[in-house]
Amino acid sequence: MARPRQFDEQDAVVRATELFWRRGYHATSVRDLGDELKLTPSSLYRTFKDKHTLFLRALDHYRATESVQAERLLGADSRPIRHVLRDWMLWLVTCVPGRGCFVVNTATELGTTDDQVSRRTEAAFEVTRQALRSLLLQGRRKGELPTGLDIDDAVELLFTTVLGLRVRERAGHDPARLATAIDAAIRALGPAPTTPS
């Protein structure tokens, strides 16, 4: 008769996410995971198959959690679009100081060397692009952004800015300088259309 598991599998994924996020994939050993999760190597392999499978579960958990937070911050409300965008971008570089983004960290560490990881990081990046596109389209509809704004170009500018900000935040750059970059990127969207008097 199989013995019942003595731990919460989802809690183990959450704790593994924290460890991988802090240390990265290559710098996290199976022993490190066992210590963090309070699991023997045999229990870890029995539950998660291997380190790579657990890493994918951790990456999926992080993406789901961050998506919920981003959706809340970028959600439609009565505030001006530029304020929503600025608050979200500031949150990205202040929510967990010194850690950067787990997805961006993973993309820079593993690049295109791992197809399963690459599919997940690209899917996460596309979610960000689509959220930006939706916000900018809403801003244009509300008359807060120039009617001639090229939405595709603006999305790429802001998306690239976001990735750069998250790398710079992890490198310990001054938050005030990151805020300056955020403001410059938002100004690049052009002046708000003026309403004829």
Rounded to whole angstroms, the Cα distance separating 95 from 100 reads 9
DSSP type of residue 145: S
DSSP type of residue 113: S
Instruction: State the DSSP string of 46-66.
Output: HHHSSHHHHHHHHHHHHHHHH
The predicted-structure confidence for 138-159, as pLDDT tens digits, reads as follows 999 999 999 999 999 999 999 9
The average confidence (pLDDT) of the chain is 90
The predicted-structure confidence for 2-36, as pLDDT tens digits, reads as follows 444 556 899 999 999 999 999 999 999 999 999 99
Structure tokens given for 40: 């023997």
Domain ranges of the chain: 8-59, 76-188
Q: What is the pTM of this model?
A: 0.88
Rounded to whole angstroms, the Cα distance separating 197 from 60 reads 51
Read off the pLDDT of each residue in 107-122 and give the average, rounded to a whole number.
94
CB 66 within 8 A of CB 103: yes
Read off the pLDDT of each residue in 80-94 and give the average, rounded to a whole number.
93
- Name the CATH topology of 8-59: Arc Repressor Mutant, subunit A (1.10.10)
Rounded to whole angstroms, the Cα distance separating 128 from 145 reads 20
Rounded to whole angstroms, the Cα distance separating 131 from 136 reads 9
- What is the CATH code for 76-188? 1.10.357.10
